[in-house]
DNA sequence: ACAATGAGCTAACACGAATTACTAATTTGA
DNA sequence: TCAAATTAGTAATTCGTGTTAGCTCATTGT
């Protein structure tokens, strides 16, 4: 592969001149048009491409961000990545994806980030310890860190997350407007992210002055493809002593869809007798039967915002000390799984 | 960030000695244990990390592969990426993801690959022209290229694809074994990948000596979230003059699920009256109602194999000239959307 | 006429590592 | 005992680029 020196030889100018022309720094040093052209022609004729590695090394600034991901096969991850890629391209940065084992961060992964001299690092779905570890190590090397879709307490570094209050207001508000009063939530095993959504659910229900009977917020876990646990939970919910909920919110789309399936199998009409709302709006929401009303989480925007923030910090590292969370709004996509609440008497029938 | 020179100063040895110790090349040059230890201690005390950029530059070998992706938000892409990441880690390579605009490859993206001095490049879902362009440019720089999930004609470079014949045999075989004789296929707008699947379908049907009435293979397109086109096609299929198919294979999972929804809405019982099989086995297959029987495409394996092949080529570029396609087998995940074919008389009832 | 200016370049060093060639001190062999 | 071989290193060069300092020549001002 040709180097600048080759171009210089061909254009019969010095190596430095080539550098100046190719980097467009002829503002500082006047290069007459004919010399410029000679250099450019020589460069294209030789098929010269600049060596990003060498530039990065000499400038000490690697225009490359690391994306630490635990579950690269998840659609949510993929969508954040998509957003991050678009934004990175705008800033002429590139993205390196690094896989973690589960949501733990081992020393080896940290080492890789440091060895690659990444300009910044973003991470999703890390556990508490790993996150602290990451912050510590990166702070030592002055490398900015962005944490995606994970409430931080205390805030440390850059956080980019969905505005869960707003998102839940969309879900609950939609159902409440349709007349639903008995709304249940199927949640996940505790983790910061699900706790935040749960809290938002309870707060919103309070705003709407809707009661949450004991057991209306239940926790399950999907170990795909085994969803029996959630199915059991749903069945219990459907014959709840305080009355069957007229709407169920799944804290993720899979949760909602498993519950929806149980309702189908129990012979319930959706949405005539019971409504379902998902959270995430993954592709599966569009293609379920009936199509699932779901809160569309701003995955792309989260990825994009994280990159934007990182690039800002790289450019102006002075205010490293100010940690903050950026909240991004969700949208509601209303589909066929939600409808008006059934009339009171309808619920009294045996199911 | 500390350099080798700092370590050398601290350990009171020469810079070169540090290099030899840290690269474990003390086989060639005996370094006594105490010196070795002194260097290692100095390195850890200073928190030295080697500079992958500098190594790559001087050695001319960048342990980094490019993953050119058109639709990073697609689950299929994500799963290939996951497989690629795992394999790359094994070989101590890292992966850089580059986004393309649609499935066209512009000169700018090529330039990026070259500027980054990638050791190899893998691409998915590129159109014909872009692929030729990519091959041309990369061949010029001796950079190996792997094409994922796309039949190549003629074969050029490394191809890694699903064995469509085998995959279709799984789908059709499963249905045939359940007694289905009237099997329809809902395909996509022509493209190499769908043409290959269609051809495999026809071939397999022939093997089973099953007829394919005119119109049983129809082509649609999903412009998510608008699936009306597919819905129309399905409705036509359900009142086909040659008799309603007892099973429909979707050439992608979304195709199958849209068709399944139409069947639901037409009041048909699934799978008692009609069966559905998807192709891809995306997450949506697991969470649909009823859960979709689907051909699981070896996305992870495809990503992994591509990386493996690329790494091989990088290590031994001598046999660049031998293009080949690697076929990977699919698996069938039987779920609730398929069942025994309905008895003949059942079909004669008005639907 | 001669210094001061500026245009248009070039030489030389830096970046952080790999690698080759070389040396000084010690041990071995005959 | 003296040359050869081995041990334990070091100095110097290289990779492809960015950057700074400086150099030559022509033009301008007085």
For the stretch A263-296, pLDDT in tens is 999 999 999 999 999 999 999 999 999 999 999 9
SS3 content of chain A, % helix, strand, coil (to 5): 45, 20, 35
Helix axes A75-90, B75-90, angle to 10 degrees: 80
A70 Cβ contact partners less than 8 Å away, ≥ 6 residues apart: A77, A99, A100, A101, A102, A103, A124, A125, A126
Token pair of B62 as six digits: 């960048």
The chain-wide mean pLDDT, for chain A, equals 92
Indicate whether A12 pLDDT > 80: yes
CB of A3 lies under 7 Å from some atom of strand D = yes
State the SS3 of B72-85: CCCHHHHHHHHHHH
Min distance A16 CA to chain B CA atoms (Å): 19
* DSSP-assigned letter for residue B62: -
**Separation CA B260–CA B276 (nearest Å):** 7
d(Cα A121, Cα A101) in Å, to the nearest integer?
Answer: 17
Token pair, residue A130, equals: 């790993």
Intervals of chain B under pLDDT 70: 26-28, 224-225, 319-321, 344-351
Q: So what's the pLDDT on residue A349?
A: 45
CA of A4 to C1' of D23 (A): 22
Decide: A311 and B249 in contact? Cβ < 8 Å: no
Which of A187, A263, A260, A181 lies closest to A218, judged by CA? A187
What phi and psi, each to the nearest 5 degrees, are found at residue A187?
-105, 180
Contact (CB<8Å) A53/B56: yes
What is the rounded CA–CA span in Å between residue A298 and residue B321? 46
Q: Is A53's CB less than 7 Å from nucleic acid strand C?
A: no
Q: Which residues of A touch B95 (CB under 8 A)?
A: 96-97
Chain B contact probe: residue of A50, A53, A77, A271 with most B CBs at under 10 A: A53
pLDDT tens readout for residues A28-69? 777 888 999 999 999 999 999 999 999 999 988 899 999 999
CA angle A147, A149, A154 (to 5 degrees): 55
Reply yes or no on whether the pLDDT at A348 is more than 60.
no
Per-residue confidence (pLDDT) for residue A350, from 0 to 100: 43
Give me the residues of B, 32-91, that contact A with CB < 8 A: 47, 49-54, 56-57, 62, 64, 71-75, 77-79, 81-82, 85-86, 89
- Which residues of B are less than 8 Å from A115 in CB distance? 49-52
A212 — pLDDT class (breaks 50, 70, 90): very high
Provide the pairing of β-strand B293-296 with A145-148. unpaired
User: B1, B47, B53, B230: which to substitute to probe chain A, counting the most A Cβ within 10 Å?
Assistant: B53
Q: Which of A47, A49, A57 sits opposite B53 (nearest CB)?
A: A57
Of B72, B121, B129, B74, which Cα lies nearest the Cα of B101? B72
Burial class of B185 by CB neighbour count within 10 A (0 to 12, 13 to 18, 19+): buried
Q: Which residue has the higher pLDDT, A101 or A321?
A: A101
For residues A170-183, give the mean pLDDT: 98
How many angstroms separate the CA atoms of B186 and B218, rounded? 5
d(CA A169, CA A206): 11
Judged against a pLDDT cut of 70, whether residue A320 lies above it is answered with no
User: pLDDT at position A296, please?
Assistant: 98
Confidence (pLDDT) at A324: 86
pLDDT of residue B226: 83
Chain B 189-228 residues in 7 Å CB range of strand C: none
pLDDT at A225 over 80: no
Q: Tell me if chain A has a CB within 8 Å of the CB of B268.
A: no
Strand locations in chain B (E): 64-69, 94-99, 120-124, 145-148, 158-162, 183-188, 217-220, 247-250, 275-280, 293-296, 324-328, 331-333
Nucleotide nearest to B20 in CA–C1' terms: C18
Q: What is the pLDDT of residue B151?
A: 85
Q: Contact A164/A302 with Cβ under 8 angstroms?
A: no
Contacts B231 to A, Cβ<8 Å: none
Q: Which of residues 22-41 of B touch A (CB under 8 A)?
A: none
**8-state DSSP, A342:** P
- How far is residue B22's CA from residue B43's CA, in Å, rounded to a whole number? 9
Beta carbons within 10 angstroms of residue A321's beta carbon: 5
Q: How far is B284 from B141, CA to CA, in rounded Å?
A: 41
What pLDDT was estimated at residue B350? Answer: 43
| Chain A contact set for B261 (CB, 8 A) | 287, 289-291
Cα distance between residue B71 and residue A37, in whole Å: 39
Query: A14 beta carbon < 7 A from strand D?
Result: no
pLDDT at A153: 72
CA atoms of B323 and B312, how far apart (whole Å): 13
Of B239, B327, B218, B227, which is closest to residue B284 (Cα–Cα)? B227
Residue-wise burial string across B68-80, b where 16 or more C-beta atoms lie within 10 A, e elsewhere: bbbbbbbbbbbbb
From A294, A290, A285, select the one nearest A336 (Cα to Cα): A290
Q: Judge if the upstream peptide bond of residue B290 is cis by omega within 30 degrees of 0.
A: yes
Which residue in the set B97, B284, B289 is minimally distant from A261, CB to CB?
Answer: B289
Contact B282, B75 (CB under 8 A): yes
CA→C1' distance for A54 and D20 (Å): 19
d(CA A120, CA A146): 8
């Amino acid at each position: 592969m040709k180097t600048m020196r080759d171009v210089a030889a061909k254009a019969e100018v010095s190596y430095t001149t080539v550098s100046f022309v190719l980097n467009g720094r002829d503002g500082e040093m006047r290069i007459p048009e004919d010399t410029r052209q000679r250099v450019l022609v020589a460069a294209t004729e030789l098929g010269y491409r600049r060596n990003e590695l060498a530039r990065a090394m000499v400038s000490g600034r690697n225009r490359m961000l690391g994306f630490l991901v635990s579950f690269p096969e998840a659609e949510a991850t993929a969508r954040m990545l998509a957003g991050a890629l678009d934004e990175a391209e705008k800033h002429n940065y590139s993205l390196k994806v690094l896989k973690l084992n589960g949501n733990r961060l081992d020393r080896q992964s940290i080492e890789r980030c440091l060895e690659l001299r990444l300009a910044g690092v973003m991470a999703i779905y890390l556990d508490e310890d790993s996150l602290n570890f990451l912050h510590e190590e990166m702070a030592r090397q002055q490398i900015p860190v962005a944490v995606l879709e994970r409430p931080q307490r205390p805030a440390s570094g850059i956080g980019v997350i969905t505005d869960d209050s707003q998102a839940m207001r969309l879900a609950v508000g939609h159902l409440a407007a349709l007349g639903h009063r008995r709304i249940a939530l199927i949640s996940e095993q505790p983790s910061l992210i699900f706790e935040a959504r749960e809290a938002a659910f309870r707060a919103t229900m309070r705003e709407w002055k809707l009661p949450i009977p004991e057991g209306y917020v239940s926790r399950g876990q999907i170990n795909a493809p085994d969803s029996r646990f959630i199915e059991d939970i749903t069945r219990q919910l459907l014959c709840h002593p305080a009355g069957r909920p007229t709407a169920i919110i799944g804290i993720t789309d899979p949760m909602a869809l498993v519950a929806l399936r149980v309702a189908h199998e129990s012979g319930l009409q959706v949405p005539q007798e019971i409504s379902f709302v998902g959270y995430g709006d993954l592709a599966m929401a569009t293609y379920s039967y009936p199509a699932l009303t779901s809160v569309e989480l701003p995955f792309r925007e989260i990825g994009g915002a994280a990159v934007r923030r990182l690039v800002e910090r790289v450019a102006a590292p002075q205010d490293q000390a100010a940690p903050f969370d950026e909240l991004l709004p969700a949208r509601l996509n209303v589909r066929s799984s939600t409808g008006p609440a059934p009339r009171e008497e309808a619920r009294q029938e045996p199911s």
